[in-house]
Amino acid sequence: MVQVGCGDIATTGHLPALDRSPAVTLVGVVDVVAEHRDAAAAAYGVPAWTELGPAVAAGARAAVVAVPPHVAPSLTLAAIDAGLDVLCEKPMAVDLASARKVHDAARAAGRIVQIGFKNRFSPLVRAARRWLDDGLIGSPAVYTLGGFDERYDAADTVHVGRIQEFLAHGPSYLHEGAHLADYLAYLTGATPVRVRATGVRSQPRFHGENFVSALVDYANGDAARMEVGWFFPSSPKGEFRILGPRGVALIDRPEQVATLTTRDDDGTLRTEEVRFERPWNDECFDRQLAHFAECVRTRAEPETSTAAGLASLRLGAAVTESLREGTVVVW
């Protein structure tokens, strides 16, 4: 395995997971930024390169691509052309046309391409899916999801520059909301049919809308409200709530607990709780990588395939259109 891109998400998530995994061997790292690749190479005792060719020659059979989403399609296509399977960080692109090129290339070449929706691998999200499948929450379900990150500190010019680059290619929802869109695809199993969104730039200097709120209606009668916020002085805890006629599920990510409360026909309240002790990111990155390694071994379609990546981007495009055009987007 070769790590392509040695920035923040690679150093805090992908590289530690590769190092912990018994299923893969890291043969080297690739990055055009000398400081990034040299630091990663030194930390993990592997060679560093500026392109994929030497990694393939060194025996890499797969790549983790963790670069900004406007760069990801070209590097994922290069990896596919080099005969590699790919785990690509989300979102897989900033536009649907680029994402479709990756999707089509992977299918044509018979390569495994998995998109990094790591959070759906959380045991807490899996518990929520089980409660939904077992009918314990009921239908229709109403989802309230929030994601807040990237605290604003004007003195941290490196971080500000990185997030400004993301915002130059789309609102915060395009990146952070990709996880929320994937949660909903995974939990509802339904297609969005109507999107209404609004967004603001809380400071004029920001290159895109750093706060976005969206309402989404689904074909099965479910509904969702999503909020995404970047670049505020602090980051409030994002909500994760599912309301149904039979039960209510809450996921508290900081406390690492999911709780289901239901009421029996006789009025008796019942509660089920699921906890896990490992840090959320460690657990999710490890489970994601294990799934990718198994798909590479068996040549099975990943759960978070390029089709899942396209579905997330379609919702992101609809949210962006709605908030910028002031329209209701109907599928």
Would residue 293 count as lying in a domain? no
| Single-letter residue type at 293 | A
Give the pLDDT of residue 212. Answer: 98
Contact 253, 240 (CB under 8 A): yes
Would residue 63 count as lying in a domain? yes
**Do 325 and 198 share a domain, yes or no?**
yes
Q: How far is residue 165's CA from residue 266's CA, in Å, rounded to a whole number?
A: 56
Give the pLDDT of residue 57. Answer: 97
- Residue 234 pLDDT > 90, yes or no? yes
**Do 134 and 270 share a domain, yes or no?**
yes
Give the pLDDT of residue 265. Answer: 85
**Do 110 and 198 share a domain, yes or no?**
no
Give the pLDDT of residue 31. Answer: 98
What average pLDDT score do residues 202-219 get?
Answer: 98
**Do 131 and 19 share a domain, yes or no?**
no
**Do 201 and 157 share a domain, yes or no?**
yes
Give the pLDDT of residue 264. Answer: 87
**pTM as predicted:** 0.96
DSSP state of 2: E
Q: Which of these three, 116, 142, 164, is where a domain ends?
A: 116
Of the pLDDT bands very low, low, confident and very high (cuts 50, 70, 90), residue 267 is confident
Give the DSSP H or E segment for 100: helix 96-109
Q: How far is residue 172's CA from residue 181's CA, in Å, rounded to a whole number?
A: 13
**Do 30 and 44 share a domain, yes or no?**
yes
Tokens of 304: 């978070």
**Do 159 and 84 share a domain, yes or no?**
no
Would residue 297 count as lying in a domain? no
Tokens of 311: 């579905």
Residue 57 sits in a domain whose CATH number is: 3.40.50.720
Give the pLDDT of residue 233. Answer: 96
**Do 147 and 266 share a domain, yes or no?**
yes
Give the pLDDT of residue 92. Answer: 98
DSSP state of 13: I
Residue 326 sits in a domain whose CATH number is: 3.30.360.10
**Do 66 and 205 share a domain, yes or no?**
no
Q: Which of these three, 69, 98, 116, is where a domain ends?
A: 116
Provide the domain limits for residue 148: 120-276+311-330
**Do 130 and 96 share a domain, yes or no?**
no
Judged by phi (left if over 0) then psi (alpha if -120 to 50, else beta), residue 189 lies in left
Q: Which of these three, 86, 116, 146, is where a domain ends?
A: 116
Contact 220, 140 (CB under 8 A): yes
Would residue 294 count as lying in a domain? no
**Do 127 and 103 share a domain, yes or no?**
no
Give the pLDDT of residue 280. Answer: 96
> Could you tell me which residues come within 8 angstroms of residue 133 by beta carbon, excluding any fewer than 6 positions away?
none
* Cα 184 from chain centre: 12
Tally of domains in the chain: 2
Give the pLDDT of residue 259. Answer: 98
What average pLDDT score do residues 178-183 get?
Answer: 97
Bridge partners of residue 3, in order along the sequence: 29, 64
**Do 156 and 228 share a domain, yes or no?**
yes
Write down the mean pLDDT value for the chain. Answer: 97
